[in-house]
Amino acid sequence: MKHLFVLIILVIFSNTMDSQNMRPLTEQEKRVILEKGTEAPFTGKFYKHEEKGTYICRQCGNPLYNSTSKFDAGCGWPSFDEEIPGAVTRKRDADGMRTEIVCSKCGGHLGHVFIGEKFTAKNTRHCVNSISMEFIPQKKESAIFAGGCFWGVEHLLRQLPGVISVESGYTGGLISNPTYEEVCSGTSGHAEAVEVIYDASRISYEKLTKYFFEIHDPTQVNRQGPDIGTQYRSEIFYTTPEQKIIAQALVEKLRAKGFKVATTITKAGKFYPAEKYHQDYYLRKGTQPYCHSYTKRF
């Protein structure tokens, strides 16, 4: 009985916490989100919405769709051909024919999903009520990292949700517009680095930097695996004072764990994009990095 009582208390506490995180709804929003109603076609505020960013659940704030998956199906409601992984749950509709979609976090009604209409290559249409969503505009920021051969760093960082683009290049050296040969000679002072453009509304600089520390070995000096030379050093080039503080704090956390971190933290200077044949290297080759892999350190 004692264990049952504790379990009941925990369930009540959990439900209370969940309800506290829910946002208050208008009567019209309740009709759609809670009572599974449908807004009139061509009336929703997001039907013709084309701004870059993330669509979130109106009721609980759970990220649902990226603007990159939105398209115009001409149906009168916002359409998406892909949800953010794990954000949307499919259920058999009460009519026994259609497939309802709800927020995976709070269960709020979103709309319906249709397969096989061939509007896009993904052959999927999430037909969503605008009233079930809110929108967070994309907030572009940049980060610059050096951690060995830029091919591997670029390839792995690109896979993070929230990363918009990653470009290989050179920075931290003495000359302008260096070539690959000049950087490899060790005389230019540049590091092979990547510039990451990311959506700060979806991924934080701290999370991005943590991942950087986990896809290369930050204890190696002027090398990464078989690649040796100052151009392969581990270095973070901060673009704001806040980035500097975050990077320094993460280095201290690693040192507290016993890692002899060699990563230096430097104010960012001019970033020079590398030659075209260095961009998207592993993506074009269809292979995996030879000297970069993920190792959990935090």
Q: Which residues are catalytic?
A: 127, 149
DSSP 222-287: SEETTEESGGG-EEEEESSHHHHHHHHHHHHHHHHTT-----EEEE----EEPPGGGTTHHHHHT-
Q: What is the distance between the alpha carbons of residues 223 and 218, in angstroms, rounded to a whole number?
A: 10
Chain centroid to CA 220: how far? 28
Answer whether 90's CB lies under 8 Å from 114's CB: no
What single DSSP character describes residue 277? G
Which helix (H) or strand (E) covers residue 272, if one does? strand 272-273
CA distances from 210 to 102, 154, 290 (A): 32, 15, 21
